[in-house]
A and B are shown apart, each in its own frame.
Chain A
């Protein structure tokens, strides 16, 4: 494995050079990325992990309390029988979508800049799905019976779940999504796990990585099978980018409640999901690249591209908000007009709606400026605001609509109890704990794919 002279090949691949800083060879890149795994844990990591792991403990407490006492500890009641549980489900599932979009659609579209961010965006997808599924399962109050309620199998009751209900579509959409995302992520990891196996000197790690890399030797046949499998999985994931959140939006749009059943919902939810997802990728990527000095691989071009995608999908979401108002007005239905046009901007939760408009509409406008897109800390703040905004969006759809239903005598206010918040914050801690463990123990950037982006990668694909 001789490292070719980088400067001689540099001119040929100008486009790719901006997604990876100049001067890197296969060896230096692999060493740099795997050093995060093999190096000592940096002290700051103990601190942030302690914070996020404390939140995991809060989550465990919230779950234990829920199982002992019951769902009465949450703020749910008639008329708002859906609250934090579904808001958080939709929020988390949405966050995962950027990972799938990056890994599947951008792969098929040959967007090579995706390479350095796809691995951890996919990991984010997985962890977000793990957080998301917790909510509907816990919401049943007895999650250990959930399989018996949710999955269609020949049971002793002689009945099946109601296949006309969007809730059972959710079960299929989310379980498919979780499974395919896991397979995709793991398949993409195999060659890198083999690299780690070959580089480590620790005999125990050698065995662990050896088992995980499933006998990968980097032979031509391995690569051939790998490429086919990866493309097939990308093909499988591509419809999921669109279908999963469309199905989630059916939870609302198939219902009869004003504020929920607009036909714009599926595309508007998908755009919202990708929007939230890219915001979360930036939220994680910006500090991580700084902390581990990975600016050479997650370059300014990556952040700029993600910022542009955030802006585009954000504006689609804003279009969705506008269409909700248009539909309400155009329907001429007094309930629709009340629910959307009157009650959202000036009703019982007007503050939530105006905050939503600030977060998802006003706060992303600076992204039109190149200067902002090039400034990581500004992107980070905007991403944070967008994440809050997307949570508020689901709050507006779920809570405002339900709290002002058809019958004024049943109107009531809803607010999350301390246990609602504990579980929500707890899952955020759970997500970041998993993220930190992932960053620490698995190469967060696909090393073997990065080698293709190197000038030398055009000729030498392997190194082992």
Chain B
């Protein structure tokens, strides 16, 4: 009886089995890598805005406090986006004729708010409150990244659930003294490894049992 298959089939069949295994494993690895990359998370991606507002210039160079514009960050869930009037407190005097600021003046003139594009937007099924985080000693740049070094604002973190849980499981690694929350250049003092745990105790931050309970964030 004639051979059905050529001798080379032996090699081909083994290679194709190997190829199948590698492509399945590789495909899974690829998907997992993709969902962690900025393509999926938008981490580090600059959002286009109606006016190219520079946080770098306004905070680092001019020394304006975060709360000058984001007024409700200590008292409510939402940090607050400043009304055009806040911009105009300065810009009716400074750069009052700059063409770049025309949308701001137009907004003031026509009483139509500027439509900023939200960079840090959590899904609606996640409950988030700025005031509690500020009160317990979570610094602005812990979540938002080095905003004082961003000429154009980009997303400072992936905002994925595992990123939230990093801190909710180990708050001692991230909290700082409450008076340092708005200090964008805060560095934990060297040589005090117990500081985090002390701060957690002082602020009365509850344990992971409470912080990682489903209904803490998914209400």
Cβ-defined contact, A210 with B162, below 8 A: no
A4 within 8 Å of B (CB atoms): no
Given A156-B160, A159-B161, check contact A206 B4 (CB 8 Å): yes
Cβ-defined contact, B166 with A158, below 8 A: yes
Tell me, in angstroms, the Cα distance from A177 to B160 when the chains sit together: 35
Among A156, A210, A214, A215, the residue within 8 A (CB) of B161 is A156
Contact with A along B1-17 (1 / 0, CB 8 A): 10011000110010000
B36 within 8 Å of A (CB atoms): yes
Tell me, in angstroms, the Cα distance from A213 to B150 when the chains sit together: 64
Cβ-defined contact, A159 with B165, below 8 A: yes
Chain B, interface SS category: helix
Among A154, A156, A197, the residue within 8 A (CB) of B4 is A197
B206 within 8 Å of A (CB atoms): no
Nearest neighbor of B9 in chain A, beta-carbon distance? A215
A407 within 8 Å of B (CB atoms): no
Cβ-defined contact, A157 with B4, below 8 A: no
Cβ-defined contact, B4 with A207, below 8 A: yes
Chain A residues lying within 8 Å of B161, measured Cβ to Cβ, are 156-159
Cβ-defined contact, A215 with B35, below 8 A: no
Cβ-defined contact, B4 with A210, below 8 A: yes
Query: Which residues of chain A from 190 to 248 have any CB-CB distance to chain B below 8 Å in the complex?
Result: 197-198, 206-207, 210-211, 214-215
Chain B residues lying within 8 Å of A158, measured Cβ to Cβ, are 160-166
Chain B residues lying within 8 Å of A198, measured Cβ to Cβ, are 1
Chain B residues lying within 8 Å of A156, measured Cβ to Cβ, are 35-36, 158, 160-162
Chain B residues lying within 8 Å of A207, measured Cβ to Cβ, are 4-5
Interface size for B (C-beta < 8 A) is: 17
Cβ-defined contact, A154 with B32, below 8 A: yes
Contact with A along B153-172 (1 / 0, CB 8 A): 00000101111111000000
Nearest neighbor of A209 in chain B, beta-carbon distance? B4
Tell me, in angstroms, the Cα distance from A314 to B162 when the chains sit together: 50
Chain A residues lying within 8 Å of B10, measured Cβ to Cβ, are 215
User: Shortest distance in angstroms between B87's beta carbon and chain A's nearest beta carbon?
Assistant: 37
User: Shortest distance in angstroms between B58's beta carbon and chain A's nearest beta carbon?
Assistant: 33
Tell me, in angstroms, the Cα distance from A155 to B162 when the chains sit together: 8
User: Shortest distance in angstroms between A163's beta carbon and chain B's nearest beta carbon?
Assistant: 16
Nearest neighbor of A214 in chain B, beta-carbon distance? B13
- Chain A CB count within 10 A is highest, among B4, B5, B13, B160, for B4
Interface size for A (C-beta < 8 A) is: 15
Nearest neighbor of B166 in chain A, beta-carbon distance? A158
Chain A, interface SS category: loop
Cβ-defined contact, A157 with B5, below 8 A: no
Chain B residues lying within 8 Å of A197, measured Cβ to Cβ, are 4
Query: Which residues of chain B from 159 to 191 have any CB-CB distance to chain A below 8 Å in the complex?
Result: 160-166
Among A157, A211, A214, the residue within 8 A (CB) of B162 is A157
Tell me, in angstroms, the Cα distance from A463 to B202 when the chains sit together: 84
Nearest neighbor of B3 in chain A, beta-carbon distance? A210
Chain B residues lying within 8 Å of A211, measured Cβ to Cβ, are 13
Tell me, in angstroms, the Cα distance from A359 to B177 when the chains sit together: 72
User: Shortest distance in angstroms between B9's beta carbon and chain A's nearest beta carbon?
Assistant: 8
Nearest neighbor of A156 in chain B, beta-carbon distance? B160
Cβ-defined contact, B5 with A210, below 8 A: yes
Cβ-defined contact, A157 with B32, below 8 A: no
Chain B residues lying within 8 Å of A214, measured Cβ to Cβ, are 13
- Chain A CB count within 10 A is highest, among B5, B10, B158, for B5
Tell me, in angstroms, the Cα distance from A273 to B69 when the chains sit together: 68
User: Shortest distance in angstroms between B77's beta carbon and chain A's nearest beta carbon?
Assistant: 22
User: Shortest distance in angstroms between A138's beta carbon and chain B's nearest beta carbon?
Assistant: 23
Contact with B along A150-168 (1 / 0, CB 8 A): 0001111111000000000
Tell me, in angstroms, the Cα distance from A159 to B163 when the chains sit together: 11
Contact with A along B76-109 (1 / 0, CB 8 A): 0000000000000000000000000000000000
Tell me, in angstroms, the Cα distance from A181 to B166 when the chains sit together: 41
Query: Which residues of chain B from 123 to 164 have any CB-CB distance to chain A below 8 Å in the complex?
Result: 158, 160-164
Tell me, in angstroms, the Cα distance from A156 to B166 when the chains sit together: 11
Tell me, in angstroms, the Cα distance from A157 to B160 when the chains sit together: 6
Chain B residues lying within 8 Å of A154, measured Cβ to Cβ, are 32
Tell me, in angstroms, the Cα distance from A255 to B161 when the chains sit together: 30
Tell me, in angstroms, the Cα distance from A321 to B5 when the chains sit together: 58
Tell me, in angstroms, the Cα distance from A307 to B36 when the chains sit together: 57
Tell me, in angstroms, the Cα distance from A348 to B102 when the chains sit together: 74
Chain A residues lying within 8 Å of B166, measured Cβ to Cβ, are 158
Tell me, in angstroms, the Cα distance from A207 to B3 when the chains sit together: 11
Chain B residues lying within 8 Å of A210, measured Cβ to Cβ, are 4-5
Tell me, in angstroms, the Cα distance from A198 to B2 when the chains sit together: 11
Tell me, in angstroms, the Cα distance from A159 to B214 when the chains sit together: 11
Chain A residues lying within 8 Å of B163, measured Cβ to Cβ, are 158
Chain A residues lying within 8 Å of B32, measured Cβ to Cβ, are 153-154
User: Shortest distance in angstroms between B30's beta carbon and chain A's nearest beta carbon?
Assistant: 14
Tell me, in angstroms, the Cα distance from A153 to B25 when the chains sit together: 13
Nearest neighbor of A203 in chain B, beta-carbon distance? B4
User: Shortest distance in angstroms between A192's beta carbon and chain B's nearest beta carbon?
Assistant: 17
Tell me, in angstroms, the Cα distance from A157 to B125 when the chains sit together: 14
Chain A residues lying within 8 Å of B9, measured Cβ to Cβ, are 215
Nearest neighbor of A197 in chain B, beta-carbon distance? B4
Tell me, in angstroms, the Cα distance from A159 to B161 when the chains sit together: 9
User: Shortest distance in angstroms between B20's beta carbon and chain A's nearest beta carbon?
Assistant: 14
Chain A residues lying within 8 Å of B158, measured Cβ to Cβ, are 156
Tell me, in angstroms, the Cα distance from A207 to B1 when the chains sit together: 14
User: Shortest distance in angstroms between A10's beta carbon and chain B's nearest beta carbon?
Assistant: 33
Query: Which residues of chain B from 12 to 65 have any CB-CB distance to chain A below 8 Å in the complex?
Result: 13, 32, 35-36
User: Shortest distance in angstroms between A256's beta carbon and chain B's nearest beta carbon?
Assistant: 20
Q: Residues of B with Cβ closer than 8 Å to A? A: 1, 4-5, 9-10, 13, 32, 35-36, 158, 160-166
Query: Can you report 12 A-B residue pairs in the complex whose CB atoms are below 8 A from each other?
Result: A153-B32, A156-B36, A156-B162, A157-B161, A157-B165, A158-B166, A159-B161, A207-B5, A210-B4, A210-B5, A211-B13, A214-B13
Given contacts A210-B5, A214-B13, 18 further A-B contacts (CB under 8 A): A153-B32, A156-B158, A156-B160, A156-B161, A156-B162, A157-B160, A158-B161, A158-B162, A158-B163, A158-B164, A158-B165, A159-B161, A159-B165, A198-B1, A207-B5, A215-B5, A215-B10, A215-B13
The 8 closest A-B pairs by CB, nearest first: A158-B162, A157-B161, A158-B165, A156-B160, A210-B4, A206-B4, A156-B35, A156-B162
